[in-house]
Amino acid sequence: MNFGPLPSVEAAAVPADGLVLDVREDDEWAAGHVEGALHVPMSDFVARFGEVTEAVADGRTAYVMCRVGGRSAQVTQYLMGQGIDAVNVTGGMQAWDGAGRPMVADNGNPAFVL
């Protein structure tokens, strides 16, 4: 599937105060995620779209992330089609972790990318 030129950014370049939209599933999120990220699994995305529109209502850019970048590319394309400023995070959580960016886990254990 070709998405054409999607706006993308390296994980290391996501602003510390940027709105990270994590579209991974619940087990992936629980293992490790960006603190303060908005978690809307891709499988629930259409049903929970209102949460996303609320989060970007002030014109914020959504930095969309999954594990490696495939699901987030699809969601980024969808958001752009809805007129929302969205950017795909290249390499997803694996790149985020590789760049040494901070992560947290739901259970208090060390965070990791599932």
- On the 0-12 / 13-18 / 19+ scale of CB atoms within 10 A, 104 is middle
Q: For residue 92, indicate whether it is catalytic.
A: no
The contacts of residue 75 (CB under 8 Å, 6+ apart) are 21, 23, 42, 45, 64, 66, 86
The Cα–Cα gap between 62 and 108 comes to 26
Set 23, 40, 56, 66: catalytic member: 66
Tokens of 14: 């996501």
pLDDT given for residue 108 in this prediction: 85
Give the model's pLDDT for residue 29: 97
Q: What is the spatial distance between Cα 5 and Cα 108, in angstroms, rounded to a whole number? A: 38
Parallel, antiparallel, or unpaired for β 8-10 and 19-22? Answer: unpaired
Q: Which helix (H) or strand (E) holds 94?
A: helix 92-98
Question: pTM higher than 0.85 for the full model?
Answer: yes
Residues of the chain short of pLDDT 50, as ranges, are 1, 3
- Residue 4, pLDDT score: 58
Structure tokens at 57: 């209502």
| Residue 74 backbone dihedrals phi, psi, to 5 degrees | -65, -45
